[in-house]
Amino acid sequence: MRTSYKMRAYPTPEQAAVLNRTFGCVRLVWNKVLEWRRNRYRTQGIATSYAETDRYLTELKRDPDLEFLCEVSSVPLQQGLRHQHTAFVNFFAGRTRYPRYKSRQARQSATYTRAAFRWRQGRLYLAKMMDTPLEVVWSWPDVDPAVIVPTSVTVSREPCGRWYISLAVEAPDPEQAPPTGAVVGVDLGIKDFAVTSGGEKIANVRHLARRERNLARYQRRMARKQRGSNNRAKAKAKVARAHRKVAASRGDLLHKTSARLVRDHDVIVIEDLAVKNMVRNRRLAKTISDCGWGEFRRQLEYKADRHGRRLIVIDRWHPSSKTCSACGHLLAELSLSTRAWCCPSCRTLHDRDVNAAKNILAAGLAVSACGGDVRHPRSSRVQSPQKQEPQPVRAGIPVLQGGE
């Protein structure tokens, strides 16, 4: 199994200067090669291989105006070209968008392979800095850093000013978690981040909304500073630190929630949400992005695979909210404002999200049992009637009328 260890780094001023120079060269090579590839394809219609980009890098180093490229290690430059080639492969495969130019304002990184670093007794020595080890903080007390053998090292600097080291290692597969015999369906939402088929509701903390006021104040202060000044750089670092706190809080919730679900259940069923399409709603785009549904699904996938659990993803068009989990009655229409409803067929009172989680679990178990498909064709979805009857009310909960 391939895994990585990410930790904080504290370079000395001399090491920071070398790393910053390396970041600049990696960024320059990426942008120049990307521009060359684009112009070559537009004018000649020729695709570019990695070997051709490597030869073009040699030509760049021979340019008298770019002699400083030879002052840094050549490994991060070549690894940058490999990453660019992988980005184009993913683009043509339809997995990602077209590669973009790198900016000095974003996260900076450089990757070193085994020929350009040494890891000895938990101490890291990088090329062009072999005389002094890079100070890092090991955060895994149950793992001895002296026994791991990294295959590559990635040094990064965040916009907030923090430095990180990521070690890629080949580790043995972890032990499979003991079976629990429990299954769960999870319905993701905005009012509550997640609702399980057992009735548990995980609150949506709204990390960005809680810090939005301070973030807006930092951004106003930065806007008043003169561009290019040291005061603007300091104000910009405060904005980046505020965003880092939001991302760290969100990541903490996602990791704890996904880890608990994987640890306590053998089978987990979720919906295939089209987050990219959902954020087109201007009123809910910020709130949906703050939830982190896509990252939550990614964490569930790799954690379930690592611990021997099964993750089932049902189709997004499955009418989980409009179907009665007790008798299977399907409503013709259910507005987003209706949080609870009474089934007109069996008179069962439903919490909207809990009922949806139960239906998600039932659909997932059906797939697990018979290998069927729960895809719901858009053409066969229940159409709303032209005219609706007045809805009777039972104990303050609307009794919704279903379609034939």
Please check whether residue 197 is in contact with residue 358, taking contact to mean a CB–CB distance below 8 angstroms: yes
Q: Strand pairing of 183-188 and 163-170?
A: unpaired
Question: How many whole angstroms from its chain centre is CA 331?
Answer: 35
Non-local CB neighbours of 114 within 8 Å, separated by 6+ positions: 150, 151, 152
Between 74-92 and 50-62, two packed helices, what is the crossing angle to 10 degrees?
A: 140
Cross-strand bridge partners of residue 293: none
What would the DSSP string read from start to end of 341-382?
EE-TTT--EEEHHHHHHHHHHHHHHHHHHH-------GGGSP
Cross-strand bridge partners of residue 346: none
Please check whether residue 242 is in contact with residue 214, taking contact to mean a CB–CB distance below 8 angstroms: yes
Residue with tokens 């990180």: 164
Between 13-44 and 50-62, two packed helices, what is the crossing angle to 10 degrees?
A: 120
**The dihedral sign for the CA sequence 98, 99, 101, 105:** positive
Please check whether residue 109 is in contact with residue 9, taking contact to mean a CB–CB distance below 8 angstroms: no
Which sequence positions are flagged as catalytic?
187, 271, 353
Q: Rounded to an integer, what distance in angstroms lies between the CA atom of residue 328 and that of residue 89?
A: 45
- SS3 category, 153: strand
Closest Cα to residue 209, out of 237, 172, 246, 254?
A: 246
- SS3 category, 394: strand
Please check whether residue 153 is in contact with residue 165, taking contact to mean a CB–CB distance below 8 angstroms: yes
Q: In the numeric block, which tokens belong to residue 224? A: 């008043």
- SS3 category, 46: coil
Q: Rounded to an integer, what distance in angstroms lies between the CA atom of residue 246 and that of residue 98?
A: 28
